[in-house]
Amino acid sequence: MGDSNWQDVGPIESLRDRPLRQMTIGRTKIALVFKDGTFSAISGVCNHVGGPLGEGALDGEYVTCPWHHYKFHARTGEGEPGYEADAVPSHEVREEGGRLLVNAVPATKRSKLPHPKHPLERDLVRADGPLRVAGISTTAMDARYPRYSTSHDLLEVALRHAREAHGVETRMIRLSELSFRNCEGYYSKSAQACTWPCSITQMDPADQMEQVYEALVFWADVVVVATPIRWGAASSLYNKMAERLNCVQNQVTIRDRVMLHNKTAAFIITGGQDNIQAVAGHMLMFFAELGCHFPQFPFIAHSRGWTAEDMERNVTFVQRSEDLRVGARALVDRALETAGLLLATKMDAGRIERGGRKAGNPREMPA
């Protein structure tokens, strides 16, 4: 065998049973391909965020990364047509005495296409100016046939009061007006696969979840989230948004980086039937995991109870209820007071110890 760079990776017969596998020779990760009776090998580390190429799939002549679906030629390591310059290293292979050998020293170099940073890839610096309140309305409806929404109505009351009584800036985000994709569960593949900015946001410029990220991470000091109760839970749009916010929380897990620093969250929950405590508990836990702070009594809610099936009466009740409007105004008062205290103290995010859970170090990409 002579050259010590050539590594024996196993008997040829046993390596023919799979078209693609991830292997490690020494300290080098390899994606080994068996296609049309021939072996080839490329780096097992994707150019994007280091995904394990050998755990992906073959698509014709290309190896597809299991994390974010980037593709590289199974023999040359080059990217797809139009992206050939975005290449991973290729490795020589040879058969000898019924064994397969792979050269650990790459035959070609890794190269990455230069690209500008995504607008969300910037420092977490609060812009000067008065306090800012973002309202996120999660009620779902057909934009062609708008209807009255109890949760959205009370959110508008809260934002109007913030502007008129406190002179702060406000921004309303209606999730029903945004076109954004479902979370694709990259975190379920690996914590490292869930990136900031969200991989979907990076790959799909038409995805409008970017508006939520911009408001929540960079713009707002206070976020007020309003949801109806749907079968004992927050709305489907709320949950769709929450899943896409995993990339914000995951920065704490893998980078010790708190994205929502000195942010205050509050909630408006309405439903014709009951389960307020479960919905509020879930929302409080989730936004606590994102790093938010809460005012005293951080939500207002309304329900007429389990037996109330006459929804039209519920709508009328909310429309006429001055108590709920007073509650919405008081909620934003408390949230703004909390936000002001947080900004005045300039708390240091630093390293966060989170109830025994340990953050991992960022993975270094092998050569």
What are the structural domains of the chain? 7-103 (2.102.10.10), 132-345 (3.40.50.360)
What is the structure's pLDDT at 367?
A: 41
What is the structure's pLDDT at 348?
A: 63
Task: Please check the confidence at residue 165 and state whether its pLDDT lies above 50.
Answer: yes
- Segment 297-320 shows an average pLDDT of 85
What is the rounded average pLDDT for all residues in the chain? 91
Burial classification of residue 255, based on how many CB atoms lie within 10 Å of its CB (0-12 exposed, 13-18 middle, 19 or more buried): middle
Residues 136 and 240: beta-carbon distance below 8 Å: no
Tokens, residue 319: 């429309």
What is the structure's pLDDT at 361?
A: 47
What is the structure's pLDDT at 353?
A: 66
**Dist CA 158 CA 335 (whole Å):** 11
The H helix count followed by the E strand count for the chain is: 10, 15
Q: 208-253 pLDDT, tens per residue? A: 999 999 999 999 999 999 999 998 899 999 999 999 999 999 998 8
Q: Which of 37, 225, 36, 55 is nearest to 133 (CA)?
A: 225
Full-model pTM:
0.84
Task: Please check the confidence at residue 47 and state whether its pLDDT lies above 60.
Answer: yes
Tokens, residue 4: 């010590």
What is the structure's pLDDT at 352?
A: 65
**Dist CA 172 CA 232 (whole Å):** 25
Residue type, 251: Q
CA angle 80, 83, 89 (to 5 degrees): 80
- Segment 157-168 shows an average pLDDT of 98
Work out the pLDDT band at 345, boundaries 50, 70, 90. confident
**Dist CA 26 CA 11 (whole Å):** 18
Contact residues for 79 (Cβ-Cβ < 8 A; gap 6+): 47, 70, 71, 72, 73, 85, 86, 87, 113
Q: 112-156 pLDDT, tens per residue? A: 988 888 999 999 999 999 999 999 999 998 888 888 999 999 999
Task: Please check the confidence at residue 16 and state whether its pLDDT lies above 90.
Answer: yes
Task: Please check the confidence at residue 356 and state whether its pLDDT lies above 90.
Answer: no
Q: Phi and psi (nearest 5°) for 208? A: -95, 10
